[in-house]
Amino acid sequence: MMYDETNSFPRWMAVALAAALAVVVAGGTWFYRSQKQAVQRAAEAQLSSIGRLKADQLAAWRAERLADAAVMTESPFFAQGVARFLADPSDANAQPFLFRFRSLKAHYAHIILVDPQGKTLLRPSGETQMPEGPTTALTAALHNRKPILTELYLGAHTPAPYIQVIAPIFTGAASDGSPLGAVVLVSDANRFLFPLIRSWPTPSKTAETLLIRRDGQDVLFLNDLRHQPDTALKLRIPLTRTDVPAVMAVLGRQGVFQGTDYRGAEVLSVILPVPDSTWLMMAKQDTAEVFAEWRIRSVEILVLFLAMAGALAAIGLVAWQRHKKAQYRTLYLSEARQRESEHKFKLLFENMTTGFALHEMIYDADGRPLDYRFIEINPAFEKLTGARAQDLIGHTVKEVMPDTEQHWIDTYGRVALTGEPISFENYAQEIGRYFEARAFSPAKGTFAVVFSDITERKQAEQRIAAKNKELEQIVYAASHDLRSPLVNVDGYGRELAYAVEAVQNALAAGDASPDALAAAVRAALPEMTSALGYIRNSTRQMDALLKGLLKLSRLGRAALTIGPLDMNRLVTRVVASFEFTAKQAGVALRVSDLPACLGDEVQLTQVFANLVDNALKFLDPARPGEIRISGAIEHGQACYCVEDNGIGIAPEDRENIFELFHRIDPSGPEGEGLGLTLVRQILGRLDGQIRVESRPGGGSRFHVTLPNAKRKQ
């Protein structure tokens, strides 16, 4: 039989494939080992970072406690107060210490003043019995003349772990004065120290941090353990168990190493000393958890190299089937055309300015819509909403936005089921934007949403509505507020005319005596004087109203110069202009550090001047006045607060105070009722807002929001 060379596998190709397979095997083995080493190095680096972080945190905690005590030890005023109390242990002499003790209660369970023999002299009212601490600590603190931080110990009456800070007090300077006693600051480790130790910065099922020290021939665990509760200051491991990382640590070994922990589990651990203490900090994690991800990755590597081996076999198969090259070429050309078409669609999808999102609807067993999953979104969607594709695609809306109303899921469910499109407008409160959207179904069980940003249009509509409301207020003022004084002028004008007529009638009577004429004039004169007074008051009222309308109209036409403003400088000038008035009224004006904003300097000066003036007008005579101005950056906006402790505003008046010519109490402080109206109008022109929080007798807080100075213009 003839040998068909066309069907045989070339020898050179077999040699090349064998060599390539050997390279793949060698490369795979090297890659496997290097990846495993990389995983271990990363885990060791993470443990080392966490260990250093915890050791530094504990050192800082110890330093803070000693600093609390040092403040009292080094304070001559505190020592003088202790001496006065020892000489006269009255309530008046005890109050300064009780006030100091209460200010420290946030960090300590017990705070007690003792004499040099340890006898309790003073403790806050309601203080329970202090856990007994090391008896030598007080003596050592008085001898060394500086604060001492004791070791952790278990209380006798309450078997919980505590640690004490002893602050010795001396007459005169601490270096040479005689001892008066000491302040004992007792910290409950379960409340203040152990939470600092237990926290772990990354999710883990087995990782934990331990605090240990050597106690004789044992390792003593100072804190409760994650896998063995109620062990603080109770669990001991003899130093003979050298395979336990805690034992290695107290025997002098530091750094990263493997071993078995108190459970007998294999762990990777790092041990570092806590500066200025006998404590050692150990951060550990089970090796099973450390290499859990590696085991998955190793399978992936194996699959990868098996795939590479398969690829080599495929290459040999392709070489053996050379006669199919034409078919592959045809397929390649077809795929090239498809890729070109997909590329054009991708360009359109990625460069369209309209947001687009494709979703898959999720139904329950009865066909009711439960949720929907994001399948695809375009870059315009990310730009318009601020969301990222990597956070949305593959996730359901309830996973990424748990507060989504069922109404929207039902609405989109009908679109995906029936194919009937819908159009709607929606306001996204999270980002403060308005959108116009259309939802349709490209295939059964799916729906797409196409939307565009209409925020500028909506804001224009809102500005028009605000202007219409302003015009309505002006029309109301013209028809009501201006008509009221006119009615007074007309009415009292008639009264004046009647009085003049009575005088004229008396003069017209030819036989009237001088006494009769004088009596007629005297009778008419009071009415004439009263009528003239009312007429003049009404004209002054009309003049004030007309000036207010003129001021409001000029405000709308005033040119604005928008730019970044140093609000600290601006508000300081405003406060300085009220310094005399505030001093006369006994009002304290306080200004905190204020963030910069975008705005017009002249207009914002008027805004804050009106708000401070308003606060000064409505002080509460029952208490000293106080006005505070503060600010911060919140949600990308510059936010300011003008707060007072005045008479406050009733709930029904909080919105009315911004209306034209509105005055809560017409008989109250003088004014035309225009200040807050001007404030709202100015802020509206500067893309800002104002709102008020208040209650009668509780003062008021006016919150002003303006664009951040760092916002792009």
| 376 Cβ neighbours under 8 A, 6+ residues apart | 356, 357, 358, 393
Q: Give which of 232, 258, 263, 231 is closest to 245, Cα–Cα.
A: 258
- How much is the average pLDDT of 611-617? 88
Strand order in the sheet with 369-377: 369-377, 355-363, 446-453, 433-440, 422-428
Task: Indicate if the pLDDT at residue 426 is higher than 80.
Answer: no
Residue ranges per domain, the chain?
A: 74-192, 352-451, 461-557, 563-707
Could you report the per-residue pLDDT of 217-247, keeping only the tens digit for each?
999 888 888 888 888 888 898 988 888 888 8
The percentage of residues in the chain with a pLDDT greater than 70, rounded to a whole number, is 79
CATH number of 352-451: 3.30.450.20
Intrachain domains 74-192 and 352-451 with the same fold? yes
Percent of the chain at pLDDT > 90 equals 10
329, 418 in Cβ contact below 8 A? no
Q: Could you please state the CATH topology (level 3) that the domain comprising 563-707 is classified under.
A: Heat Shock Protein 90 (3.30.565)
Say whether pLDDT at 67 is over 70: yes
Q: How far apart are CA 110 and CA 188, in angstroms?
A: 8
Beta bridge partners of 365: none
Task: Write out pLDDT tens, residues 75-108.
Answer: 888 888 888 888 888 888 888 878 888 888 888 8
* Averaged confidence pLDDT in the chain: 79
CATH 2.60.40 is right for the domain spanning 461-557: no
The pLDDT of residue 473: 56
Task: Name the residue with higher pLDDT: 446 or 6.
Answer: 446
State pLDDT tens for residues 555-568.
555 577 889 999 99
Of the ranges 68-72, 271-275, 400-404, which one carries the lowest mean pLDDT score? 400-404
Res. 569: pLDDT tops 90: yes
The reported pTM is 0.41
The angle subtended at Cα 156 by Cα 155 and Cα 161, nearest 5°, is 15
Half-sphere exposure of 33 (CA within 13 A, CB side): 5
Judge whether residue 702 has pLDDT over 90.
yes
Best CA proximity match to 257, nearest among 237, 233, 283: 283
pLDDT of residue 596: 94
Q: What is the pLDDT of residue 633?
A: 92
Per-residue pLDDT of 120-144, as tens digits, reads 888 876 555 555 666 688 888 888 8
- pLDDT band of residue 1 (cuts 50, 70, 90) is very low
Q: Topology of domain 74-192, per CATH?
A: Beta-Lactamase (3.30.450)
Q: How many CA atoms lie within 13 A of 372 on its CB side?
A: 29
